Structure 1
Amino acid sequence: MNQERLPASDHDAITDAAAHWCMRMHADDCTRAERQAFEAWLLADPRHAEEYKAIANIWQAADQLPRPKVHLAYNPPYRPPPLRYRLRRLAPTFACALLALPLAGWIGWEQGWLPNHYEHFKTTDALQTVQLSDGSSVELNLNSEVRYFNFKDQRKVTLVEGEAFFKVAHDNEHPFIVHAGRGQTRVTGTQFNVWKYQDQVKVTLVQGSVLVSSDGDGGYRLGPGMQASYRLGDFEPQLAQSPDQDNSLAWRSGKLVLDNISLQQALPIINRYLDKPLRVADDNTGKIRISGVYNTRDVGRMVAALPKVLPVYLTRSKDGGTVLNRISPPPPRG
């Protein structure tokens, strides 16, 4: 039985991941932890192994590196898309290999398929500011990851996870495009913040203007102080004037600011800093409001202290996560 056909955007994500892993498996500095993560990725979905096989064959055909010694556990009845499509999709990650072939590299650059520069940055427990090759700077929050590709006609960044503040070097002829989730933010030179948690994305503009689109065509232009939010399935982003721009950017100083919002609204913000997500037991618990300024490196301790400041108690879920439960108020007297 043939597997269900994936949407193009989902298949793109698998192809990008397979290309990234192929590059890492061939890298001299590939670590044991990366190889373990790669094996886990292979086992997560039959399509992962099949796509990796196809990309490894293309790498082999380019005669750049020997075939890696990797055990592929699956051999599913899955037919990958045509070679021409795959070559176009994996071009960013394979730039370093293909540009070694002068003709292929020149054609790929001229057609806008291949970048001439690739950079990858990832943080865990510390903030980091990095300088891109185009002169732009990126501040990364904890547990964040970005990939940068410089093409002939555009600069492309993928926010894989987490949060980043961008100061983009101005270039009218070479737009700067940040992909996060199913949407993208397009600029030529400005300052803005992009936050991503699971399928939720929020863009906050500080200076200049940006064009934000979600899962549909076109887009909406933001002015300074505006925010655009979207998640999986949204055809259009939700726009708002941001009264709490400083709160949205407080992470740059290592702070998490919660300004009288409900626990349900606070969960995605808090969970960005936890190993296992915090949950609420029910809707009534989720309606409790919370305020405060916390250290982003100490969010776990903040969660443990919530029963001291809110009418809640903590329990554990079956997967070991923390659950907030509302304490019922005493019945009225009389």
Structure 2
Amino acid sequence: MNRSVDSNAPDGAATSAAEQAADWFARQETGALSEAANLEFRAWLAGDPANAQAYDAIKCMWSTYDLIPPSAVGEQLAVESSSSTRLTSSVIVSRRDFGSRRRRFHPKLIGMMAAAVCALAVLISFNYGARWQADMFTAVGEVRTVSLPDGSTVTLNTDSAVRLRFDEKRRIVELLAGEADFKVTADRERPFIVEAAGGSARALGTQFAVRHDETGATVTVEEHDVAVTFMSTPGAQPQTQTLSAGQSVTYSSAAGLQAVRSVDLDRATSWRRGWLSFEDRPLGEVIDELDRYLPGWIKITNPDLRARHVTCAIPLDQPALALDHLKQTLGLRTVRLTPYLTLIRE
């Protein structure tokens, strides 16, 4: 997309069809597009069937959102602000950068967040499609360890799905959606390969995790070495990186195979032990991660609020109560427009 055409074009951070559709929809709801922007929108709409599908989902669900009277939002906000919930498990949060100043709940931001949730239909259909193809999968909020035919084990994180292709020559696991941690039994005659998002991670005897979302995949190595290969387009020269323990790499069709980086394995794998652990991370990242363990969507209405940093450890056995306690500790407010859409504000 050519960003020089119009200074009000969607934010470059919006990389998925769902995010771009929400951005375009919000701009149209809050003011007429310029002629140049309208041409750019039409080109985006025609450029990929996924774009049109995401935009249609937003328009459909927006009509439902319009039926919610403003008074109901105000009443719900009052109820949420006055209620208090005791969290039995500990949630540790740093209040750094959280002052007492309150910002106005801007209608445009409400529109953008409500529009974004409309793309939920597109994302849900992807995961349910993956489940139909899967040999094993987990529900939202479920973490489960399963033994594989060769004696290896896979721990599936929330809302994940895998398909197996084992034969006499190789062991292939296709990660259709979500995240999985593999503890591999060594077999030099049959390499163990995990395929996800157009790339692959090959190991013999080792432990590593692969995460697959709508933007690409990330491989994190916990023991020994893993060779990661990615081909950006059919027929292109494959890109390969060899990772050692404590290293991670991300790849996608948009950015290719990115640079290898070091990671804190305790934090990166804390979900296997029933926790989400963050140190000095943006609140938006924390909420997005917690959102994976709850049905529906949780959205922060203010970009500045998303960018503020926190340190926290969140128990996954009670994610809804953890969200309530996080909200109270940081002095935030929530509006539950539906059982599947919660907005967070200051």
Determine whether 1:138 maps to 2:138. no
**Letter of the structure 1 residue corresponding to residue 201 of structure 2:** T
Give the structure 2 partner of residue 309 of structure 1: 329
Unaligned runs of 5+ in 1: 8-39, 49-92, 94-118, 328-334
CA deviations on 1:234-290 (whole Å, 9 max, x unpaired) are 211342101x21011111111111222102322442222121122222320111122
What TM-score do the two structures reach when normalised by structure 1?
0.57
Partner of 2:270: 250
TM superposition shift of 1:225:
0.4
For structure 2, the residue ranges without an aligned partner over 5 or more in a row are 1-45, 51-120, 233-237
Superposition pairs of residues 196-211 of structure 1, within 5 angstroms: 196-211=212-227
Q: Secondary structure at the match of 1:308?
A: helix
Other structure's SS at 1:305 match: helix
4+ runs deviating over 4 angstroms: 3-7, 316-320
1:183 to 199, 209, 212: 199
What CA distance in whole angstroms lies between the structure 2 residues aligned with 1:321 and 1:198?
Answer: 20
Aligned to 1:237: 258
Give the secondary-structure state (helix, strand or coil) at the position aligned to 1:247.
helix
Query: Which residue, out of 226, 243, 259, partners 1:222?
Result: 243
The 3 A distance-change label for structure 1 pair 306 and 128 is closer
- Change in Cα spacing, 1:281 to 1:5, as seen in structure 2 (3 Å) is closer
* Separation in 2, partners of 1:264, 1:214: 29
Partner in structure 1 of residue 23 of structure 2: none
CA separation in 1, counterparts of 2:298 and 2:259? 25
- Out of 281-290 and 208-217, give the one that drifted further: 208-217
Q: Could you say which residue in structure 1 is the equivalent of 2:320?
A: 300
Q: What is the correspondence of 1:1-334 to structure 2 with a 5 Å cutoff?
A: 120-124=135-139, 125-216=141-232, 217-242=238-263, 244-316=264-336, 320-325=340-345, 327=346
Taking every aligned residue pair, what percent have the same amino acid on both sides?
A: 27
Instruction: Measure, in 1, the Cα distance between the counterparts of 2:307 and 2:337.
Output: 20
Preserved CA contact (<8 Å) 1:273 1:297: no
Q: TM-score, normalised by structure 2?
A: 0.55
Contact 1:212 1:220 in 2 (8 A): yes
Question: How many residues are treated as equivalent by the alignment?
Answer: 218
- 1:300 is paired with a residue whose SS is helix
The separation in 2 between residues aligned to 1:155 and 1:4, in whole angstroms, is: 37
Q: Shift in Å at residue 215 of structure 1?
A: 4.6
SS at match of 2:162: strand
The answer to which structure, 1 or 2, has the higher relative contact order (CA under 8 A, 6+ apart) is: 2
